[in-house]
Chains A and B, each alone.
Chain A
Amino acid sequence: MRVTNWMLVNTAIRELEGLRSQYAKSQKKVYGRALERPSDDPQRVIEAIDLTGMKVRLERAQRAATDAKEWLSIAETSLTAMAEDLQAVQETMIQFGSPANQEPTARENLALQIEALRDAIKREMNAQHRERYLFAGWATDAQPFVDDGAGGVEYKGSSHKIEREIAPGYKVAINVPGDQLPTDIIATLTQVAQAIRTGTTEDVMAYLDDVQAASHVLLARRSEVGLAYQQVEQFEGYSRDGLITVEERLGEISGGDIADAVMEMTQAQQAYQVALTAFSMALPMTLMDYMFR
């Protein structure tokens, strides 16, 4: 086969072009830009799109979990306060059984205590988080518990639960609708105060069961909230782990191991430079160069 000057030059250019593109490719890998266009690796690009979608969902789940924890934590605080207030009510009612508290002044003091605790429970029932009523269902912009004029309260909220998706496809309720709270306890406490003022010990003690029942309801709600909080924390951990896995995989797809990529780039650079030097030395000489030099 005859080998012409054009063949030599062309082969050199082609080889150099191949080495240069290999160098450019390894450089992109070092910058974490191994996938810049779908044709770089269609399957990996599809995987990257799926992972990016998953990442958005996990990030959303994490934000939802943070928000859920905030709501649940405040709800739990309010429920705990209400339960403690009811505990204090029970203690006050038992104190009334003591003969020393049958005095009109003592009675009045105890009745005032009960009323103060009732008002505190009412306040907690209307507790707010970021200007939204906690126990109002979906009607968070209006006070859920309003006085009914007879010493009790009327629930004006809705029975809907506010939910947060704390993991893709998994939702948790972050509030307790007001109709699930022992609403009647407010009216009962008004009656207890009245009984303390004018009634007998038996009259007062007759309400003890109602108070205890309300306490149980509150504790049950608090347990539910606590359980939900625990679930949120657990799923938040899953989301965090999931996000790390997704980001790691995305990193692998788009760049891979940096040390490996740097090594590859260094090798490609050296190969390119060696080829450049070799070709520059070998190419220009022809018989004419020798003859007329």
Chain B
Amino acid sequence: MIRGISSGFYTATRALQSSQWAIQLHLENIASANDPSYTRRTLENRVDPYGRLPEVMRLRDLFVDFQYRRAQSSAGYASTRADIMARVEDIFGDPIEGGLGQAIDKFFDAFKAVSEDPSDEVLRIEAIEAGRRFAQHIHEAMSQLTMIKDQINERIQGAVTEINAHLENLRNLNGRIATMVGSSEMAADLMDQRDRVLDELAKLTGARPTYLEDGTVRVMIGSVPAVDGTAINLLEVVQGENGPIVKWQDFELPAYYGDGGELPALLQVRDEDLNHVMTTVDRLAKNLAREVNRLHSQGYDLDGQTGHDFFLIQEQVPGGIYVHPDLTPRGIAAAGSADGLKMDGTIAERIYRLYDGMWPIYADTYTWEDPAAAGSPVKTLTLGKDLSVSFVHTYEDGTGTLVTVERRGTWSQNADGSVTVTLTEEWQVDPVTGTGSWVELSTPIEVQYRRQNGQLVPLSGSETYQASQPDLVDKSSAAMVWYRNLVGLIGSRGKAAIQDREVAEAHLQVAQEQRSSKWGVSVDEEIALMTAEQKAFAAVARVLTVMDEMLEILINAVS
């Protein structure tokens, strides 16, 4: 009996302690209700048949965590992309009431005005100013794009530092948690801290953790175990061709590009989107300047001078075009001849026509023949719309026999508007069997041409071919077409990035709600449970009083 009462006292005391502990946990939960990284805790194993102490449990769900971190990674990626694309969009200004597009329109319009009244010096001043404004827009765009690129590079550097700090932090937390779990001590706060770091890491890199039996985590970034227990692999920034690139320290792996999170977004936007925009703006500016110069140098100014450029081009500088510092309003070569006719605006008109397209259409059949030369050679070069080339060379070999040489290959348009023709194969007939076949040339023949005034003029080589049709302008080579395509591309990618961000944030929102639903703190619920615990505490206290009274009666009866 005495033993039974002692056992009762022991059980009641445990119950009392458990209720007290539970109330303490509820208070702790309520106090941390506004901490989004806090995991609600409850008391488990309150009445253990083997007499073990109750345990504090974190109500974490690994699947929900996995979902959340995936959403976090996508949101980090999409949000970074959307932010940077928005800044790139800002550079091109209001598409309707300003920006580079309007500067291009005004530049060509100014030349149109000069072509219609070349003797008016005010119009010439306006043309120079329009040229300056265009160049200024290009400089402004390139400078801001470069600034964005520099900021991305800084952010890449900062992100790598942050990721490395998180990885080191994880390693330390792993070590401490392993020690505490091993010694059965409560590591809930440390686990919360570690989960917070894992969330951050997922947002930055799309890192995926695996929980190990010893209480530590293994964190995979891409295919590399960035943290494994207390082992760690860090990232580093090294200088690459297009700015800093990210690599794993002590690993012979290609540069890190990742598959989600902010850092891969920064690298991708810089190396793909931003690079494309910068190349296109540079290409637009320099090609326009080159074509204007090509025509301008053929024209005559008001003083009868010829051969000078409108733009000064610095090939090595991105967007490096300037109105030539030596150019005066009278120096605009608007006239097409040296006659000094005041209303001759032929060249200004041709410059204006560049608005419709800067380059000619090359696909055509071109011929070259010289009846006076030995063998009366005739050459025909056909540039196909499918970028194929056919070359036929016919001549008389001196014995009265006509010899025909046939070659084929491909052609491609160069960044400066010229084309490169490459002949790679020749038709050869086997003298024994009489059958013919295409045989690869030991050295491909490569010639660069520029089409102008109905001719295919060689930029390397010497034979000028006659085109079979009049020159047609390739409308896709117009500066405005490039600009609108660029704006369309930026707009589409910007819109896609915004939509991706919205989708990713919606997913993140759902995941956050699931998390909150699983282990977030509801103050109402905690108050209700705490009230129940208070009642339990009071009940146990009552049991203890009853047992005390029973013991008193028993002692009195015995004595």
* Interface set of A (CB-CB < 8 Å, partner B): 1-7, 10-11, 14, 35-43, 45-46, 48-50, 52-53, 56-57, 60, 64, 67, 132, 137-141, 158, 160, 162-165, 250, 253-254, 286-288, 291
Contacts and interface: CB of A to CB of B under 8 A. Distances in A.
B192 interface: no
A5 B523 contact: yes
Interface string B77-109: 000000001100110101110000110011001
Contacts of B528: 287
Contacts of B521: 4-6
B483 A160 contact: no
Contacts, number: 155
Interface in B488-522: 488, 490-492, 494-495, 497-498, 509, 512-513, 516-518, 520-522
Contacts of B524: 5, 286-288
A45 B95 CA distance: 6
A4 to B, nearest CB: 4
Nearest to B492: A42
Contact of A10 (B494, B495, B513): B513
Interface of B: 30, 33-34, 36, 85-86, 89-90, 92, 94-96, 101-102, 105-106, 109, 112-113, 116-117, 119, 339, 341-344, 480, 483-484, 487-488, 490-492, 494-495, 497-498, 509, 512-513, 516-518, 520-525, 527-528
A164 B349 CA distance: 11
A64 to B, nearest CB: 6
A254 B517 contact: no
B99 to A, nearest CB: 9
Contacts of A53: 101, 105, 480
Given A5-B523, A38-B488, A60-B112, A158 B101 contact: no
Is the contact region of chain B dominated by helix, strand, or loop, or is it mixed? Answer: helix
8 contacts: A3-B517, A7-B513, A11-B513, A37-B89, A42-B495, A49-B95, A287-B524, A287-B528
A10 to B, nearest CB: 7
Nearest to B92: A38
A160 to B, nearest CB: 7
A38 B342 contact: no
Given A35-B95, A64-B116, A141-B119, 11 more contacts: A2-B517, A5-B520, A5-B522, A7-B520, A10-B512, A41-B491, A42-B487, A57-B109, A140-B343, A164-B116, A288-B30
A38 B89 contact: yes
Is the contact region of chain A dominated by helix, strand, or loop, or is it mixed? Answer: helix
B523 A67 contact: no
A175 B523 CA distance: 90
A38 B343 CA distance: 41
Contact of A52 (B34, B101, B488, B492): B101
B96 A141 contact: no
Nearest to B113: A60
Given A49-B95, A52-B102, A39 B341 contact: no
A197 B201 CA distance: 112
A201 to B, nearest CB: 46
B490 A38 contact: yes
B116 A39 contact: no
Contact of A7 (B86, B517, B523): B517
Contacts of B512: 10
A42 B491 CA distance: 5
A132 B480 CA distance: 35
B89 A140 contact: no
A7 B548 CA distance: 48
A50 B484 contact: yes
A250 B483 CA distance: 19
A256 to B, nearest CB: 13
